[in-house]
Chains A and B, each alone.
Chain A
Amino acid sequence: AQSVTQLDSQVPVFEEAPVELRCNYSSSVSVYLFWYVQYPNQGLQLLLKYLSGSTLVESINGFEAEFNKSQTSFHLRKPSVHISDTAEYFCAVSGGTYKYIFGTGTRLKVLA
């Protein structure tokens, strides 16, 4: 069975400060890992994903995540956040079966 844990339900951070949103997973098989973002009143959108190859993946808007197999983690980071990054972020895992398992989400609040 697979599971995803996002330990932080809310993360407040000041604008231009760095941020890390944590995601840990458990799985008995090889996994694919995803981060989705949900802005207010919108659907979820893919931010970045790890399928294979380089363990560091990047998004077009400055976020990055690193797949760490030994620590079963896929934490999301950004060195300098903007007000527009305020949203809810969901980590997801798939593998072994056909379906995604989503984490409970982390609400990122960027403060001016």
Chain B
Amino acid sequence: DAMVIQNPRYQVTQFGKPVTLSCSQTLNHNVMYWYQQKSSQAPKLLFHYYDKDFNNEADTPDNFQSRRPNTSFCFLDIRSPGLGDAAMYLCATSRVILTDTQYFGPGTRLTVL
């Protein structure tokens, strides 16, 4: 089945130690998104790619970076994780922006020690 896959499902890192989260899709969608979701809060958009065009939200910390080497893969890099970065990270895809359905992966839960 076509889907959005996130690896790993659970990630533990140490304070300040760089970490990379991975997302892949078999839907061949143009747009890929990264969201941060903290407990009892709404998913918060960090950035998205439309093809290779990167779009950063104004309030996304510089500590967060992203790479999209090809249509299928997108990575979230956290350069120096702080305790406040512990959250669920959700990857999503859509064919086009704005009105289109977003397809979500199961998420990666990040713990920072």
Chain A residues in contact with chain B, CB under 8 A? 4, 9, 32, 34, 36, 41-46, 49, 51, 90, 94-95, 98-105
Q: Looking at the complex, which one of A4, A46, A98 makes contact with B55 (CB distance below 8 Å)?
A: A98
Q: Are the CB atoms of A42 and B106 closer together than 8 Å? A: yes
Q: Looking at the complex, which one of A4, A44, A45 makes contact with B90 (CB distance below 8 Å)?
A: A44
CB contacts under 8 Å to A, within B27-44, are 40-44
The answer for the CA separation of A15 and B89 in the assembled complex, in Å, is 32
Residues of B within 8 A of A102 (CB): 42-44
Q: Looking at the complex, which one of B42, B44, B45, B106 makes contact with A90 (CB distance below 8 Å)?
A: B42
Q: Which of A4, A101, A102 has the most CB of B within 10 A?
A: A102
The answer for the CA separation of A44 and B88 in the assembled complex, in Å, is 12
Q: Are the CB atoms of B99 and A104 closer together than 8 Å? A: no
Cβ of B107 under 8 Å from chain A: yes
Residues of B within 8 A of A105 (CB): 40, 42
Q: Are the CB atoms of A44 and B99 closer together than 8 Å? A: no
Interface string of B71-113 (1 = CB under 8 A from A): 0000000000000000000101000011101111111000000
Q: Are the CB atoms of A43 and B42 closer together than 8 Å? A: no
What are the 4 tightest A-B residue pairs by CB atom distance, in nearest-first order?
A43-B104, A102-B42, A44-B104, A98-B97
